[in-house]
Amino acid sequence: MEIQGKIKMIGTTQSFGSSGFRKREIVITTDEQYPQHIMVEFVQDKTDLLNSYQVGQPVKISINLRGREWVNPQGETKYFNSIQGWRIEAAQAEASGGMPPMPPADAFEPAGNLNEDEHDDLPF
């Protein structure tokens, strides 16, 4: 799966436990009618992927959804979800409808003035 948006926040790398588990969070704001602020976590060696990105930059992140089950001391089962990123790249501006972008107006040669005596060969 992929999500696209602008970077709202990039967290610092956090280390947990004696095993050296590392995690870094990033928040992406989607560009849609009702923008969403989605937190994605990068773990272990993937935390370094965020080093070359800045707040405000449009990106595309490849993600996996993760789910965990946990039974608390009272015996209640709880479920937790996380969004884990594994690739990030700068988003490219896409032209609408798959068409190439229109060149600026000054790139075209102006049409010459046609006299009534000059006719073209078009049948209409």
With CA atoms as reference, report the closest residue to 24 among 54, 5, 6, 44: 44
Checking if the pLDDT of 98 tops 60, the result is: no
Q: What residues form DSSP beta bridges with 40? A: 26
The predicted pLDDT at position 92 comes to 77
> What is the number of domains present in the chain?
1
pTM above 0.85, yes or no: no
Q: Is residue 98 part of a domain?
A: no
Residue 30, domain extent: 2-92
Per cent of the chain over pLDDT 70 is 74
Q: What is the CA radius of gyration of the chain?
A: 26
Checking if the pLDDT of 99 tops 80, the result is: no
Which domain CATH number covers 24?
Answer: 2.40.50.140
Residue 8 corresponds to which tokens in the numbers above? 């709202």
Residue 99 or residue 62, greater confidence: 62
Q: What are residue 27's phi and psi, to 5 degrees?
A: -115, 130
Dihedral (C-alpha) 87, 91, 95, 100: value to the nearest 10 degrees? -80
Distance, in Å, from the CA atom of 26 to the CA atom of 44, rounded to the nearest integer, reads: 14
Q: What is the pLDDT of residues 28-41, one digit of tens each?
A: 999 999 999 999 99
8 A C-beta contact, residue 4 and residue 59: yes
